[in-house]
Amino acid sequence: MLDLRFIIENIESIRANCAMRNVSVDLERLVALDERRRALIAEQQSVQERRNALAREMKGRKPSDEERSLGKDLKEREAVLEVELGSVRDELLALQLLVPNLTHPDVPAGSTDEENRELRVIGAPPSFGFAPLDHVELAEKHDLIDFEAGAKVTGQKFYFLKNEMVLLEHALVRFSLDLLRKRGFTLFQTPDLARAEVADGLGFNPRGAETNIYSIAGTDLVLVGTAEITLGGIHHGEILDEARLPLRYCGLSHCFRTEGGAHGRASRGLYRVHQFTKVEMFAITRPEESEAMHAELVAIEEDIYRALEIPFRVVDVCAGDLGGPAYRKFDLEAWMTCRGERGGWGEITSTSNCTDYQSRRLGVRYRESASGKTRFCHMLNGTAIAASRAPIALIENHQQADGSIRIPKALVPYTGFDRIG
């Protein structure tokens, strides 16, 4: 979240930022609540001072009836003020949490992914000398995925991986873990559950009609939609030593998403599902290091997909598609035959610089070595491998004229085979 004082002192720029990001927040109500909060605090202090003065006056003697009555009135007023102040603070915080992060000045304007800015294209979409199949058709041909069994056992948008696809998922995961370990990341296999307050601290709405998160009935737990939630919660409420920064974490987890309203060819098969495995990168830095770290995370994502020999492009996500926590976000989009009638670009990774938006909500600070002062850390996240979408791009781009699927050289040591079919 943003600092309350910063919001109040920059209300017009905050209003413009909300409009640019298509976020609706009642800022007039927020300002009015802050004014009421400050008035209540001032009155509360005044009442306490009067009670203290009265106590000093009565010290060592029996109070008069008038003094007892005044003391009782002041005590009752103080209790009323405490209740009202608590209510005002709760409502104010709820509105404050709705205010999105600031936006990097280079972020393109726009409200949908069609208005994202293309930065670079790596590789070219394959030119097949035959009618290519999409991943659903390829999976059926080679007995790799059973969508019908998934729907029967669990529901729509669930699935069983089979045969070589099981090994391919594990190969993608291990390949990315090995790469990240070499780049200095600490590896974690995280819980698949987190407290709702942690999810909320990372900017994920764990409750309500618009949530994309599954909640566990009768508990304060949710199924995580990404290891960003669990990795981000590790240092909840902590003050870190500056010498430890930056922290580079990598989390392997299952991810669960409700994905309401996802239909059509573009969401076919594995592209938009309720459960998948993902390797997530997460970094905690000093404020002045976060933009360089953001560039590092994007470069790692590019290295992964170059190694997988998959054509992709990098896009600068437009303001209206950033979500609440991100200051800036870059997506990698791979070429997929399942996107549209003639193929198209589909998101395979995303990496965001959330600056201190999440750390303020979670209370994650660091102590400066020189001054001893504490500052809020910056937090960043990025996908290394989403083991639902990466296989789409892999098998669709590497299908051969004879119907087989070629395995890229970087994965062969992990799969133990160089071809499916």
Using one digit for the tens of pLDDT, what is the confidence trace for 302-357? 999 999 999 999 999 999 999 899 999 999 999 998 887 788 999 999 999 999 99
**What is d(CA 279, CA 277) in angstroms, rounded to the nearest whole number?**
7
Closest CA to 2 of 103, 97, 105: 97
Q: Of the ranges 45-59, 174-188, 267-281, which one carries the lowest mean pLDDT score? A: 45-59
Distances (CA, A) of 51 to 45, 57, 66, 72, 354: 10, 10, 14, 10, 46
The per-residue pLDDT of the chain, averaged, comes to 93
350 in catalytic set? yes
In the structure, what pLDDT confidence band is assigned to residue 207 with cuts at 50, 70 and 90? low
How far apart are the C-alpha atoms of 315 and 337, rounded to whole Å?
A: 19
Catalytic residue among 248, 257, 328, 339: 257
257 flagged as catalytic: yes
Nearest to 75 by CA among 102, 53, 93, 51: 51
Number of alpha carbons in the 13 Å side-chain half-sphere of residue 34: 17
* Catalytic residue list contains 267: no
Task: Choose, from 272, 328, 360, 361, the residue flagged as catalytic.
Answer: 272
pLDDT band at 212 (very low <50, low <70, confident <90, very high): confident
Q: Does residue 53 carry a pLDDT above 80?
A: yes
Taken in order 359, 361, 365, 371, the sign of the CA dihedral is positive
The active-site residue out of 176, 350, 359, 388 is 350
Domains annotated for the chain, with CATH where assigned, are: 4-98 (1.10.287.40), 113-420 (3.30.930.10)
Percent of the chain at pLDDT exceeding 70 = 97
**CB–CB of 148/269 below 8 Å?**
no
pLDDT average, residue stretch 272-276: 93
Task: Give tens-digit pLDDT for 105-139.
Answer: 999 999 888 999 999 999 999 999 899 999 999 99
* Residue among 328, 339, 361, 389 flagged as catalytic: 389
pLDDT of residue 261: 52
14-34 exposure pattern, b = at least 16 Cβ within 10 A, e = fewer: beebbebbebebebeebeebb
Task: Please pick, among 347, 361, 365, 396, the residue that the annotation labels catalytic.
Answer: 347
Confidence of residue 243 (pLDDT cuts 50, 70, 90): very high
Examine the pLDDT at 61 and tell me if it is beyond 90.
no
Mark whether 389 is an active-site residue.
yes
The question of whether 244 is a catalytic residue gets the answer no
Of 84-88, 179-183, 334-338, 392-396, least confident by mean pLDDT is 334-338
Q: What is the pTM of this model?
A: 0.92
- Check if the beta carbon of residue 229 is closer than 8 Å to that of residue 195: no
Quick: pLDDT tens for 285-310: 999 999 999 999 999 999 999 999 99
Amino acid letter, 5: R
pLDDT tier for residue 92 given thresholds of 50, 70 and 90? very high
Reply yes or no on whether the pLDDT at 86 is more than 80. Answer: yes
Instruction: Return the structure tokens found at 214.
Output: 């599954």
Closest CA to 148 of 316, 157, 226: 157
Average of pLDDT values for 392-398? 96
pLDDT class for 209, splitting at 50, 70, 90? low
